[in-house]
């Protein structure tokens, strides 16, 4: 039998090497004993006792264990620079310890950031300073004292596993170059308009991704994600979007939709990371700025104003940017009103934004009812003559939701209808929808929220409508019953 051709053997060896690199975590760190903050640190011991076991415990999204690699720990058959740069360029992950400000470490980090848009994780010893040049990059802290080794190992494993799952763009070099050259702009669809499944940008990451992203594969995973969403399987949808981003990290549509899924799952900090990345990749993508602002506002709202750090964005600037980019999107204006009201305490400013959102939406119930509430609270009266058409339009939207099978957004669709009927002096309709809303409640806070709104908006301002007191009595009885 003829020997296997040399070119075929070489091809197989290259393919095997690429498969290995797909599971490799290349460790960039000082060698031997070095001084850090006036103390001698044995980095070889840290690698052996902490980094190596932590990396081996991490799994890729394909459920494969990571392979740790460090140039001084390998027996090289050729130039160390060649092997080192191969690891830097093509490893699935790069793990860098910046403790001690070793110049070789920073050189290799720079090379990695130039080569790969994602998959670079920076660590430092607890309390060690961060150089000014990289303060914009997230750097994780670890402890290496013997009592903390087990805890630190689990923490590092979790960071690496999550980094692989999310495949977040982490290279400031690649982001800056893309911003400078204006590459990969995202579409800016109007409200409700469907977005294309794939973005035009392709990945320039691992060897198997150096050519344009495989569009058919991306389309398949995008369709699978949409089907999972239709079935309510958010976890599966999230996984499919992650796979798309593994193939094409610059796919702004997949990244945007991943952010929306994470938002629905209540993972606000993770969602914010995705929306922020989209705004960096596509600065004119209004929807991304809107979602970024909404999440920023929700995070800021949980922290009392006196305890809120000055650096924490409250969503105002992001939402202002959104209203400039998509001025006809009423939701952007209403969300800006929400930040002014709930985070900044600026009721007058919020009223202006809600009223504008109600006008351009031709009577969407969310901004309209918020505008009316603030008008009553700030002015002590309601001027409804100019919004009669908006009231009817809002009623049609909410009534359509009650006619769905099953009704959507209960009990709030009924409570909003009750409020809309009240403003139109329909006592019978008001009480009917109050009862319907109560029947849809499964917790006491729901009727309590509506009752408190009516009292704050109307009763406390001395504004009376026929049936209001009777409706409040029904709500109070429902609250007492649901508390039992």
Taking the domains of the chain in order of start, what are their residue ranges? 11-170, 391-483
The whole-number pLDDT of residue 179 equals: 58
The whole-number pLDDT of residue 438 equals: 97
Distance separating alpha carbons of residues 275 and 260, to the nearest angstrom: 9
CB of 164 within 8 A of CB of 120?
no
Q: How far is CA 429 from CA 209, 290, 446, in A?
A: 62, 36, 20
Element (H, E) at 108: helix 103-115
CB of 350 within 8 A of CB of 340?
yes
308: its two tokens? 């809120």
The whole-number pLDDT of residue 76 equals: 44
Distance separating alpha carbons of residues 115 and 199, to the nearest angstrom: 21
Residue 317, exposed/middle/buried by CB under 10 A (0-12, 13-18, 19+)? middle
Rounded to two decimals, the pTM is 0.64
* Greatest distance between any 2 Cα atoms in the chain: 100
User: Please, which contacts does 473-476 make with residues 24 or more away whose CB atoms are closer than 8 Å?
Assistant: 474/431, 474/434, 474/435, 474/438, 475/434, 475/438, 475/447, 475/448, 475/450, 475/451, 476/451
Full pLDDT tens readout for the chain, 484 residues:
444 555 555 555 555 677 788 899 999 999 888 888 788 999 999 999 999 999 999 998 888 899 999 986 544 444 457 778 889 988 999 999 999 888 989 999 999 998 888 899 999 998 777 775 666 688 889 989 888 899 999 999 999 998 888 777 788 887 776 655 554 433 333 333 333 333 333 333 333 333 444 777 888 899 899 899 989 899 999 999 998 988 888 889 999 999 999 999 999 999 999 999 999 888 889 999 999 999 999 999 999 988 888 889 999 999 999 999 999 899 999 999 999 999 999 999 999 999 999 999 999 999 999 999 999 999 999 999 999 999 999 999 999 999 988 898 999 999 999 999 999 999 999 999 999 999 999 999 999 999 999 999 999 999 999 999 999 999 999 999 999 8
Distance separating alpha carbons of residues 468 and 457, to the nearest angstrom: 12
Distance separating alpha carbons of residues 45 and 67, to the nearest angstrom: 18
DSSP 344: S
259: its two tokens? 């952010």
Give every CB contact of residue 35 below 8 A, 6+ residues apart in sequence.
Answer: 41, 100
Q: What is the CATH architecture assignment of 11-170? A: 3-Layer(aba) Sandwich (3.40)
User: Pick from 410, 346, 349, 398: which is nearest to 369 by CA?
Assistant: 398
């Amino acid at each position: 039998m003829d020997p296997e051709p040399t070119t075929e053997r070489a091809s197989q060896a290259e393919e095997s090497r690429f498969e290995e690199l797909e599971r490799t975590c290349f460790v960039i760190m000082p060698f031997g004993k070095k001084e850090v903050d006036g103390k001698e640190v044995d980095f070889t011991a840290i690698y052996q006792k902490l980094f190596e076991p932590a990396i081996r415990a991490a799994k890729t999204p394909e459920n494969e264990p990571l392979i740790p690699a460090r140039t001084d720990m390998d027996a090289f058959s050729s130039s160390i620079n060649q092997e080192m740069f191969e690891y830097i360029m093509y490893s699935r992950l790069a793990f860098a310890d910046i403790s001690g400000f070793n110049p070789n470490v920073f050189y290799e980090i720079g090379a990695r950031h130039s080569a790969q848009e994602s998959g670079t994780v920076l660590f430092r010893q607890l309390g060690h300073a961060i150089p000014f040049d990289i303060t914009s990059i997230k750097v994780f802290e670890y402890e290496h004292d013997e009592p903390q080794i087990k805890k630190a190992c689990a923490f590092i494993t979790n960071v690496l596993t999550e980094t692989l799952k999310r495949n977040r763009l982490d290279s400031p070099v690649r982001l800056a170059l893309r911003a400078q050259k204006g590459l990969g702009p995202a579409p800016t669809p109007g409200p409700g308009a469907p977005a294309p499944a794939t973005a035009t940008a392709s990945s320039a990451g691992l060897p198997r991704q150096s050519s344009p992203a495989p569009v058919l594969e991306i389309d398949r995973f995008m369709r699978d994600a949409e089907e999972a969403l239709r079935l309510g399987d958010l976890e599966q949808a999230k996984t499919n979007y992650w796979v798309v981003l593994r193939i094409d990290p610059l796919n702004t549509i997949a990244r945007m939709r991943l952010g929306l899924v994470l938002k629905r799952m209540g993972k606000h900090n993770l969602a914010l990371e995705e929306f922020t990345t989209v705004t960096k990749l596509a600065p004119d993508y209004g929807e991304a700025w809107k979602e970024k602002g909404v999440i920023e506002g929700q995070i800021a709202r949980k922290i009392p104003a006196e305890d809120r750090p000055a650096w924490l964005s409250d969503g105002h600037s992001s939402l202002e940017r959104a209203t400039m980019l998509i001025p006809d999107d009423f939701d952007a204006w209403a969300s800006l009103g929400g930040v002014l009201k709930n985070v900044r305490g600026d009721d007058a400013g919020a009223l202006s934004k809600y009223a504008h959102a109600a006008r351009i939406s031709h009577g969407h119930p969310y901004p309209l009812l918020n505008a009316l509430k603030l008008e009553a609270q700030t002015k002590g009266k309601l001027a409804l003559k100019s919004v009669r058409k908006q009231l009817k339009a809002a009623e049609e939207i909410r009534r359509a939701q009650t006619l769905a099978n099953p009704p959507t957004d209960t009990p709030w669709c009924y409570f909003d209808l009750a409020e809309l009927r009240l403003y139109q002096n329909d006592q019978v309709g008001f009480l009917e929808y109050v009862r319907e809303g109560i029947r849809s409640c499964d917790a006491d806070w729901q009727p309590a929220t509506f009752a408190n709104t009516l009292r704050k908006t109307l009763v406390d301002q001395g504004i009376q409508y026929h049936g209001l007191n009777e409706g409040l009595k029904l709500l109070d009885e429902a609250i007492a019953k649901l508390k039992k």
